[in-house]
Amino acid sequence: MSILVDIVFWVLGGLAIASAVMVFVVDSMARATYALAVSFVAVGFMVLLLSQNYAGVITVLMMLMEMAIMAVYMVMFMGMNPALMPMSMVHSNKAAIAVAAATFVVLGGGALLVPWPTRRGTPPAHLTAALGRALMGDHMLVMIVFSPVMVATIVGGVVLASHRGRYDRMGDDLDRRPPRDPAPGGVGER
Partner 1 sequence: MADVVAVSAWWTPLAAALLGVFVWGAAAFDGALTAGSRGMGPGGSLTRPLDGVARLLRQRRIVTLSADRLLWRVGGAGLLVAALLMVAVTPLGRWTLSDLDVGVVWFNAMDVAVWAFVWLAGWGANSVHPLVGGYRFLALALGYELPLMFALTAPPIAAHSLNVGAIAGAQGHVWNIVWMPVAFVVYCIGVLGFSLWGGFGAPLASDIAGGVRAELSGVDRLLLDAGRLALLVAGAAFAVPMFLGGGVGPLLPAWAWTLAKTAVLVAALVWAGRRMPVLRPDLLLEVGWLVLLPAALLQDLVVALVAVWVR
Partner 2 sequence: MTLPLVLLGAAALFAVGLYGAISQQVVVMVMMGLEVMVNAVVLAAGAMWWFLAPDPTGQVLILVVLGAMTVEMATGFGVATLWHRAKNSDMTDSATDLAG
User: What residues make contact with partner 1 under the rule CB under 8 A?
Assistant: 28, 30-31, 34, 37, 53-54, 57-58, 60-61, 64-65, 67-69, 71-72, 83-84, 126-129, 183, 185-187
Choosing among partner 1, partner 2, none, which partner's interface includes residue 159 (Cβ < 5 to 8 Å by kind)? partner 2
Choosing among partner 2, partner 1, none, which partner's interface includes residue 79 (Cβ < 5 to 8 Å by kind)? partner 2
Choosing among partner 2, partner 1, none, which partner's interface includes residue 164 (Cβ < 5 to 8 Å by kind)? none
- Max CA distance (Å), the chain: 70
- Compute the distance between CA of residue 179 and CA of residue 172 in angstroms, rounded to an integer: 12
Q: Which is nearer to partner 2, 138 or 175 (CB)?
A: 138
What is the closest distance, in whole angstroms, from the C-beta atom of residue 121 to partner 2 in the complex? 5
Choosing among partner 1, partner 2, none, which partner's interface includes residue 68 (Cβ < 5 to 8 Å by kind)? partner 1
Q: Which is nearer to partner 2, 154 or 174 (CB)?
A: 154
Question: In a 3-state reduction of DSSP, which class is residue 3?
Answer: helix
In angstroms, what is the C-alpha Rg of the chain? 23
Structure letter (DSSP) for residue 117:
P
Q: Which is nearer to partner 2, 20 or 176 (CB)?
A: 20
Q: Which is nearer to partner 1, 61 or 80 (CB)?
A: 61
Whether 20 and 39 have beta carbons less than 8 Å apart is answered as: yes
Tell me the C-alpha to C-alpha distance, in Å, between residue 133 and each of 49, 91, 126, 149, 156: 22, 47, 11, 21, 31
Tell me the C-alpha to C-alpha distance, in Å, between residue 69 and each of 35, 75, 85: 14, 10, 21
What is the closest distance, in whole angstroms, from the C-beta atom of residue 6 to partner 2 in the complex? 6
- Compute the distance between CA of residue 77 and CA of residue 144 in angstroms, rounded to an integer: 35
What type of residue is 23? Answer: V
Rounded to the nearest angstrom, the gap between the alpha carbon of residue 8 and the centroid of all alpha carbons in its chain is: 23
Q: Which is nearer to partner 2, 24 or 167 (CB)?
A: 24
Q: Which is nearer to partner 1, 129 or 174 (CB)?
A: 129
What is the closest distance, in whole angstroms, from the C-beta atom of residue 170 to partner 2 in the complex? 21
What is the closest distance, in whole angstroms, from the C-beta atom of residue 59 to partner 1 in the complex? 9
